[in-house]
């Protein structure tokens, strides 16, 4: 049987060169990542805040931006781009160059509620961004006027079922995280609750203080002084564990609603395909900020409990809550134009 001819010198040479090229390319991959990390940042970084100045979200972003500026040796410059419940600013970052010089301060509602309540959202929260990490959680509290008959969640549920018109609860607006907390409570318990949307949390709280609306779902920071003075009383927090800031207020889970865990949160993301080395550096510096006692204290004063963690844990939170709130929104028929 005839034997195959031996490979020629040119064939062997091509094989050797191809193999060497593959080895060089493989060796250069970690080097390119290391270069990206060492060369970055070489200029100021823009932090897009998709809300107006002055709110809790804006304040938390500015606290973190100030600390990151010191750690990175370049200014992290807040850039407010309000509009459409955060959609406008988020689109700006989704379309930005993935070079580490444009970041987004993201609020939970923008990424896990807006895709369900708007007919069209100009970005995909999972496809168009690289997560960096969560900054912290903002505790939500269900409060009531002191004269309201129910003093805890179970009493509220039972009372609501005896009233033909139900019990009204105010929130900062339709499609907000606090609105969905109320809707999920209705869906899980059959409570007869009626949503009253306001243009912001302040007027919702004002009507609860006056007794015009017996209940309100609100951020802990916005009702802190009213709880201390006794002008409002707390019925519970819709989360799985008690708040560090309000350890005396029972959770919905403790009142019999297992796995009822709704927290408002704020975090950092970058455009998709931002180099992994840059994302890891930002996560490291963000966690360093959240471990700093001064930063934690400032965030606590703004109503945010620092929650350092990995980029992957924020991605997991987004996936989980997209599924959860999608079901709540569909069952309640909530839509925004």
Q: Report the C-alpha gap between 265 and 138 in whole angstroms.
A: 6
At 38 the pLDDT is 63
CATH 3.40.190.10 in the chain is located at 140-255
Q: What is the mean pLDDT of each run of 10 residues along the chain (337 residues)?
A: 50 52 50 60 98 91 97 97 95 98 97 96 97 95 97 97 97 94 96 96 96 94 93 93 87 90 94 98 98 96 93 97 96 91
In terms of CATH, what superfamily is 140-255? Periplasmic binding protein-like II (3.40.190.10)
At 28 the pLDDT is 52
CATH 3.40.190.150 in the chain is located at 43-138+263-332
- Detail the DSSP E strand segments found in the chain: 45-49, 76-80, 102-107, 129-138, 140-144, 167-171, 193-197, 215-219, 233-236, 264-271, 305-306
**Direct distance between the N- and C-terminal alpha carbons of the chain, in angstroms, rounded to an integer:** 79
At 241 the pLDDT is 84
At 21 the pLDDT is 53
Q: Given this structure, which CATH class describes domain 43-138+263-332?
A: alpha beta
At 308 the pLDDT is 96
Q: Report the C-alpha gap between 201 and 232 in whole angstroms.
A: 15
At 303 the pLDDT is 87
At 263 the pLDDT is 85
At 55 the pLDDT is 85
At 221 the pLDDT is 85
At 56 the pLDDT is 86
């Amino acid at each position: 049987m005839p034997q195959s001819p031996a490979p020629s010198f040119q064939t062997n040479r091509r094989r050797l060169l191809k193999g060497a090229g593959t080895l060089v390319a493989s060796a250069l991959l970690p080097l390119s990542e290391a270069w990206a990390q060492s060369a970055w940042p070489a200029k100021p970084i823009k932090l897009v805040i998709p809300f107006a100045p002055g709110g809790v979200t804006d304040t938390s972003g500015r606290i973190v931006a100030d600390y990151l500026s010191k750690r990175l040796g370049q200014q992290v410059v807040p850039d407010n781009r309000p509009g459409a419940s955060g959609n406008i600013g988020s689109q700006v970052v989704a379309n930005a160059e993935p070079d580490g010089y444009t970041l987004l301060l993201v609020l939970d509602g923008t990424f896990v509620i807006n895709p369900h309540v708007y007919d069209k959202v100009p970005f995909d929260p999972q496809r168009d961004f690289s997560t960096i990490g969560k900054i912290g959680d903002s505790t939500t509290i269900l409060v009531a006027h002191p004269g309201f008959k129910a003093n805890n969640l179970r009493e509220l549920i039972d009372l609501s079922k005896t009233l033909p018109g139900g019990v009204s609860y105010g929130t900062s607006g339709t499609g907000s995280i606090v609105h969905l907390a109320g809707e999920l409570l209705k869906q899980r318990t059959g409570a007869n609750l009626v949503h009253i949307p306001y243009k912001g949390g302040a007027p919702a709280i004002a009507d609860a203080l006056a007794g015009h609306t017996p209940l309100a779902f609100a951020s802990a920071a916005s009702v802190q002084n009213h709880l201390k003075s006794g002008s409002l009383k707390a019925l519970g927090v819709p989360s799985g564990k008690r708040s560090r800031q309000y350890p005396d207020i029972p959770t919905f889970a403790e009142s019999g609603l297992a796995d009822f865990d709704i927290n408002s949160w704020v975090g950092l993301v970058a455009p998709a395909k931002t180099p992994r080395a840059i994302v890891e550096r930002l996560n490291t510096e963000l966690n360093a900020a959240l471990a700093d006692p001064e930063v934690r204290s400032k965030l606590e004063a703004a109503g945010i409990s620092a929650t350092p963690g990995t980029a992957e844990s924020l991605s997991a939170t987004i996936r989980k809550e997209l599924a959860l709130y999608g079901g709540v929104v569909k069952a309640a028929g909530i839509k925004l134009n």
